[in-house]
Structure 1
Amino acid sequence: MLREMVNKLPASEKKIAEFIIESPQEAISYTAQELGERSQTSGAAVIRLCKSLGLNGLQELKLRVAGDLQKTYEVGYRDISPNEPLESILKKMTTNSIQALSETADIINFEELQKAADALFHARSIHFFGVGSSAIIAQDAQQKFLRINKHVTTFSDVHMAAMLAANATEEDVVFGISFSGKTTEVTKVLELANQTGAKTISLTSYGQSPVSNRASINLFSSASRESVFRSGATSSRLAQLHVIDILFMSVATMQYEESIERLDQTRAAIDFIQGNEEKNKGSKK
């Protein structure tokens, strides 16, 4: 969180964040006042930093830093090099994926996650929207929630998404997905949804952004960094898919018996379609 947010913070908070990143073991032993003095700021600035990070206070920040110091995975997302051996690519991409999932689990806010699950569970209709690689996440969310009989739509076409948002009601959920949090189309679709009174949820990388600021419920995935060959994009996509999976399982368990029945029905429907296709192939032969 600190590495992702450091360049977005006000000057005094940035100095504290940089001090913690450089000297984490030392930082967790200080009080707010001591940490402010060591970073040449103030105790009040330390408290403001915690608020900027969405944390309840210095104690939570110190616990998170201490937890990170205990982790054994390799820190830092690694990109590929020219003529990289396949074995090395496999190791790097696996490491990146594990780190993205671990970081996402660390930054999830359970209160916001519960609000999102409740909103999706009670929604009359759910409209997922993303652009580019985030559109793939939206499509994945659609097929998952359709399997448990939720009324779900997703359109990568912004005009279609705008029409849906404009006609949404307070019984509906509009779910905007943008890793950067700066996608103009997603921001505007959420603005439209807010005007109609629909519940709005965002899924972005960690930190405040135009997209998260337009949503009433904010979910964050790992703040993996982009790189030359966009291996960050593969890690961020996996992290976003992970959040969608968590939401799907949360809603499914809230209607457990019905979900089991619906999943069986959808599985049988697919088997039926595939069975007919096999029969048609056989008759043509």
Structure 2
Amino acid sequence: MNLQTRIYEKQGDLSGSEKEIIQGLLSSAKENSQLSLKDLSKKLYVSESAIFRLCKKLGLSGYSELKFELSAASSIKNHPNTNFVKEMADLTANTIKQFEARNLTNFYIDVQTAKTIYLYSTGWQQELLASYISKELFLIGKQTVLLPSALDELKMRGQFFKKGDMLWTISYSGNNTAVVNELKKLSLIGDEIKMVSLTKMGSNDLATISDYSFFFQTIDFSYQTDGSKPKSCFSPAYILIDLLINGYFDWQQKKG
């Protein structure tokens, strides 16, 4: 698991100051990989212990492994994705094909009967997706509540979920252990609430415990910043959301 993947999986658990440290680390990954812990802490204006705690939170053994991961990140060559348009077209077609192959009647019924739809996300891109879903659901008359990414917020709100509520969880990997464990506790409520997951394509723990699981793929943009992996495009996820919302509207119209 590379450094970027670790960061994606732990985004929901990171504090604002830890995210700033990560930005500083990745902005000059090659240079930072050659610094001692003392020199790096001075450069980033943080304590050595703050960097060490971040290493542990990301699942790294210590600063030496962080230096190795930074070096690996900086070695990624700047090869533009010259097939971006074709990949986007292919993923769009594939997303539509998978959507059309599913029978979503029960999902639509649960969306319709849901008194309140809660949305919880585990990172910045996921927060944007959750906000988009919330607005789209609002436009078709559903009451939604956007939960902050902090795990404590999910724990607190979980005490007040009522029968008929629905919880959407948007996670890139779907394997955030702390989030999955908390959702497992909520699932003990039984049929009180319906759980929906939106994650990247592939088997993951979150999808396993959800009543309805939806998957999206990402592609790399043509550009990337020095010392970091190419930025991911989440357009296929937005296309999937549009298909789900429009599908629900069409189902309502046909049902009368």
Compute the TM-score of the two structures, normalised by the length of structure 1: 0.51
RMSD: 3.1
Structure-2 change in CA distance of 1:221 and 1:112 (3 Å): farther
Matches within 5 A, 1:91-102: 92-102=83-93
Deviations 1:231-282 (A, max 9, x none): 4x31xx212212211121122234449xxxxxxxxxxxxxxxxxxxxxxxxx
Amino acid at match of 2:96: A
Higher relative contact order (CA 8 A, sep 6+): 2
1:221 offset after TM fit, Å?
1.8
- Is 1:168 the counterpart of 2:165? The answer is no
Q: Which deviates more, 221-230 or 153-162?
A: 221-230
1:211 equivalent among 206, 212, 217: 206
The separation in 1 between residues aligned to 2:176 and 2:230, in whole angstroms, is: 17
- Unaligned 5+ segments in structure 2 are 1-75
Deviations 1:145-198 (A, max 9, x none): 112221101122332233233322330111111232212354244324312231
Query: 2:195 maps to what in 1?
Result: 200
Matches within 5 A, 1:192-271: 192-196=185-189, 197-222=192-217, 229-231=229-231, 233-234=232-233, 237-256=234-253
Query: 1:153 maps to what in 2?
Result: 145
2:105 equivalent among 107, 110, 114: 114
Indicate conservation of the 8 Å contact 2:218/2:236, yes or no: no
The separation in 2 between residues aligned to 1:223 and 1:166, in whole angstroms, is: 34
Q: Which has the larger radius of gyration?
A: 1
Compute the TM-score of the two structures, normalised by the length of structure 2: 0.56
Indicate conservation of the 8 Å contact 1:112/1:217, yes or no: no
1:223 offset after TM fit, Å?
6.6
The separation in 2 between residues aligned to 1:254 and 1:142, in whole angstroms, is: 19
Structure-2 change in CA distance of 1:186 and 1:144 (3 Å): farther
1:141 offset after TM fit, Å?
0.3
Amino acid at match of 1:100: L
Matches within 5 A, 1:60-139: 81=78, 92-108=83-99, 110-111=101-102, 113-132=104-123, 133-139=125-131
Indicate conservation of the 8 Å contact 2:155/2:182, yes or no: yes
Amino acid at match of 2:206: V
Indicate conservation of the 8 Å contact 1:178/1:186, yes or no: no
Amino acid at match of 1:211: L
Indicate conservation of the 8 Å contact 1:173/1:199, yes or no: yes
Structure-2 change in CA distance of 1:243 and 1:166 (3 Å): farther
SS in 2 for 1:173: strand
The separation in 2 between residues aligned to 1:145 and 1:114, in whole angstroms, is: 17
- Unaligned 5+ segments in structure 1 are 1-78, 258-285
Indicate conservation of the 8 Å contact 1:154/1:161, yes or no: no
Structure-2 change in CA distance of 1:125 and 1:206 (3 Å): same
1:200 offset after TM fit, Å?
0.8
Q: Which has the higher helix share?
A: 1
The separation in 2 between residues aligned to 1:99 and 1:199, in whole angstroms, is: 32
SS in 1 for 2:104: helix
